[in-house]
Amino acid sequence: MTDALTTWAGSHTFRGGPVVRPTTVDEVAQVVAGARHVRALGSRHSFHDLADSPGTLVVLDRLEVPTVVDPDAGTVTVGAGVRYGELADDLHAAGWALHTMASLPHIAVAGTVATATHGSGVTAPNLSAAVRGLEIVGAGGEVRTLGPDDPELAGSVVALGGLGVVTRVTLAVQPTYDVAQEVWLDLPWRTALERFDDLMASAYSVSLFTDWTGDDVAQVWRKHRVDADAWTLPGPGDVLAGARPAPGPVHPVPGPDPVACTQQGGVPGPWHERLPHFRLDFTPSAGAELQSEWLVPREHAVAAIEALRGIGHLTSPLLLISEIRTIAGDDLWLSTAHGGDRVALHFTWQPRRAEVEAVLPVIEEALAPFGARPHWGKLFADRDHTLRELYPRWDDQVALLARRDTEGVFANDFLTRYGLRG
């Protein structure tokens, strides 16, 4: 009998079977070599059918691959199914760090980089940009290793599972560092938009939380890298004029206990205990929810935000909260930040799927003038089939998928629906 596997928030039950949980790379290779269709699953922090398969589902949560730091190369090689929070604990204990973290530390490494998932910061590219190498089990069960100079690496990192089952990922690391996180409330929208670039650059990582209504941004979260020699909690400055410091810990979603959130109040602590919004040992975000996100070029950020405020009366009744963040550009072919810096416009929805799906085309129409790219792992519509126009290396990506998987072993409805497979 096929296991019933759902996304982490229960938003989708994955189609496919049998479900196998290999413990070694050799076992993964045997499974792939003997299957007509295969898709891989990690921590299942997605919201739709990206990982569905017409055949076998390979779950990587039991894959036994040692974590190996190479201090000379400044890299760590880790098993595909390891969660970022677990990797971060090991790295910090060894004196190393990643350049960023997503808001949830619960997500697995391979699935995260395959969908261009990101943290935040005007100088911080997404997590995929830290990849320096991949080990992939391809369509015939062969195991390939791509290094930093491999010409296919830029098309293989954010590949949506279409090239095979990733078993190892090599990431760039740096010496460990501390971060302090502070929260401000009720920043006037006028200030936020007039000083947007300065505001988003006022800390190593900045997040704005809003429901798109009213005159104020509900919360501003600023995460500061701490200088080991001298550091003091920054004051508000012009970019936070009119806001007030949070009197105590807050949760970005109104209502839940902030105990699930990482420490606030400007108290310095290890990078991996401050850069995520949520703690690994608690349910992330609101739990039962849906998510969508679109990324627009930095130069269009204010206009795109104004467009979303203009339809706030439609989106706000369905929202738990929205978040605005910045991501530095990269050169990965299907990365949502390919070709330049981006601003991410994120929606955490109530679990009202039919109503949420009905409003997605309205959002995409409002953002269409700004070249908005949807997050690959979250809900979007693309009814006008414009994704191809948004990625300069799209045709190269399609050719790579077809060349490396001639029989469509890793193809599925998602890749076909959005034009990445024939």
For the segment 109-124, the average pLDDT, to the nearest whole number, is 96
Question: Can you give the pLDDT at residue 14?
Answer: 87
For the segment 349-359, the average pLDDT, to the nearest whole number, is 96
Who has greater pLDDT, 237 or 270? Answer: 270
364's enclosing H/E stretch is helix 353-367
Alpha-carbon span 37 to 24, nearest angstrom: 20
Alpha-carbon span 403 to 211, nearest angstrom: 44
Question: Can you give the pLDDT at residue 45?
Answer: 84
If DSSP codes are grouped into helix, strand and coil, which group holds residue 94?
Answer: coil
Please tell me whether residues 310 and 334 are part of one structural domain. Answer: yes
Domain limit, last residue, from 176, 196, 213: 176
Please tell me whether residues 158 and 194 are part of one structural domain. Answer: no
CATH code, 159? 3.30.465.10
Domain presence at residue 128: yes
Q: pLDDT tens across 66-96, in order?
A: 999 999 999 999 999 999 999 999 999 999 9
For the chain, how many structural domains are there in total? Answer: 2
Question: Can you give the pLDDT at residue 17?
Answer: 85
Question: Can you give the pLDDT at residue 236?
Answer: 63
Domain limit, last residue, from 118, 149, 176: 176
Please tell me whether residues 185 and 326 are part of one structural domain. Answer: yes
Alpha helices in 256-336 (DSSP H): 301-310, 312-315
Question: Can you give the pLDDT at residue 285?
Answer: 64
pTM of the predicted model as reported, rounded to 2 decimal places? 0.95
Single-letter code of the amino acid located at 305: I
Contact 86, 46 (CB under 8 A): no
CATH code, 208? 3.30.70.2520
In percent, the amount of the chain with pLDDT more than 70 equals 96
Write down the number of H helices and E strands in the chain.
12, 20
Please tell me whether residues 118 and 163 are part of one structural domain. Answer: yes
Domain presence at residue 354: yes
Q: pLDDT tens across 34-66, in order?
A: 999 999 998 888 889 999 999 999 999 999 999
Q: pLDDT tens across 302-338, in order?
A: 999 999 999 999 999 999 999 999 999 999 999 999 9
Domain presence at residue 96: yes
pLDDT band at 3 (very low <50, low <70, confident <90, very high): low
Alpha-carbon span 358 to 361, nearest angstrom: 7
Please tell me whether residues 182 and 196 are part of one structural domain. Answer: yes
Domain ranges, residue 342: 178-374
Domain presence at residue 388: no
Please tell me whether residues 223 and 366 are part of one structural domain. Answer: yes
145 pLDDT above the threshold of 50: yes
228 pLDDT above the threshold of 60: no
Contact 210, 186 (CB under 8 A): no
Domain presence at residue 250: yes
pLDDT band at 385 (very low <50, low <70, confident <90, very high): confident
Please tell me whether residues 164 and 195 are part of one structural domain. Answer: no
Please tell me whether residues 247 and 360 are part of one structural domain. Answer: yes
Question: Can you give the pLDDT at residue 249?
Answer: 97
Question: Can you give the pLDDT at residue 1?
Answer: 33
Question: Can you give the pLDDT at residue 272?
Answer: 97
CB atoms within 10 A of CB 270: 17
Please tell me whether residues 228 and 281 are part of one structural domain. Answer: yes
Question: Can you give the pLDDT at residue 5?
Answer: 86
117 pLDDT above the threshold of 50: yes
Please tell me whether residues 90 and 216 are part of one structural domain. Answer: no
For the segment 390-406, the average pLDDT, to the nearest whole number, is 97
Question: Can you give the pLDDT at residue 11?
Answer: 83
pLDDT, mean over the chain = 94
Domain presence at residue 33: no
360 pLDDT above the threshold of 50: yes
Please tell me whether residues 169 and 279 are part of one structural domain. Answer: no
Question: Can you give the pLDDT at residue 282?
Answer: 79
Alpha-carbon span 57 to 55, nearest angstrom: 7
Domain presence at residue 37: no
Alpha-carbon span 174 to 76, nearest angstrom: 10
Please tell me whether residues 162 and 227 are part of one structural domain. Answer: no
2 pLDDT above the threshold of 50: no
Domain limit, last residue, from 374, 398, 415: 374
Q: pLDDT tens across 155-183, in order?
A: 999 999 999 999 999 999 999 999 999 99
Q: pLDDT tens across 401-416, in order?
A: 999 999 999 999 999 9
Domain presence at residue 422: no
